């Protein structure tokens, strides 16, 4: 499971997958099979969710500009190794030894991915 998937799981509400109800037992009244459909996914206010999490974090975390703080806020590994793994997931082509540049790029890409997948992200945080 990738780091980006973990980020999505922390921010986006889980949706139930469609599944059929079990077939009726032999000899029972033939009840119609019911299907649970996934709830319609509406735009998720990423800023509101992260601001609420930050308010109860117990420490100041600047998720708006820091990938490290964003990962900490989501209770995910924010180590350099973890960020390098995230960079690989997102096809970062820069020098991973230049962590400052990589971190800025990562934050922007994560915000872009959140926006592309149903997240309402402030315009100043994405491309």
**List of the chain residues with pLDDT < 70:** 1, 14-42
Compute the distance between CA of residue 73 and CA of residue 90 in angstroms, rounded to an integer. 20
User: Residue 19 pairs with which residues in a beta bridge?
Assistant: 36
Q: What is the pLDDT of residues 13-50, one digit of tens each?
A: 764 333 333 444 455 444 443 433 334 446 899 999 99
Nearest to 111 by CA among 99, 127, 100, 96: 127
pLDDT at 43 (0 to 100): 84
pTM: 0.77
C-beta separation of 99 from 107 below 8 A: no
């Amino acid at each position: 499971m990738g780091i980006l998937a973990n980020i999505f799981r922390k921010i986006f509400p889980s949706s139930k997958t469609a599944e059929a109800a079990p077939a009726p037992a032999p000899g029972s009244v033939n009840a119609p099979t019911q299907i649970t459909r996934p709830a319609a996914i509406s735009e998720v206010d990423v800023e509101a969710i992260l601001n609420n999490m930050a308010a109860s974090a117990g420490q100041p975390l600047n998720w708006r500009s820091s990938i490290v703080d964003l990962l900490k806020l989501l209770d995910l590994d924010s180590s350099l190794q973890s960020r390098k793994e995230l960079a690989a997931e997102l096809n970062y082509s820069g020098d991973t030894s230049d962590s400052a540049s990589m971190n800025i790029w990562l934050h922007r890409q994560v915000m872009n991915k959140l926006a592309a997948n149903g997240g309402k992200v402030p315009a100043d945080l994405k491309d």
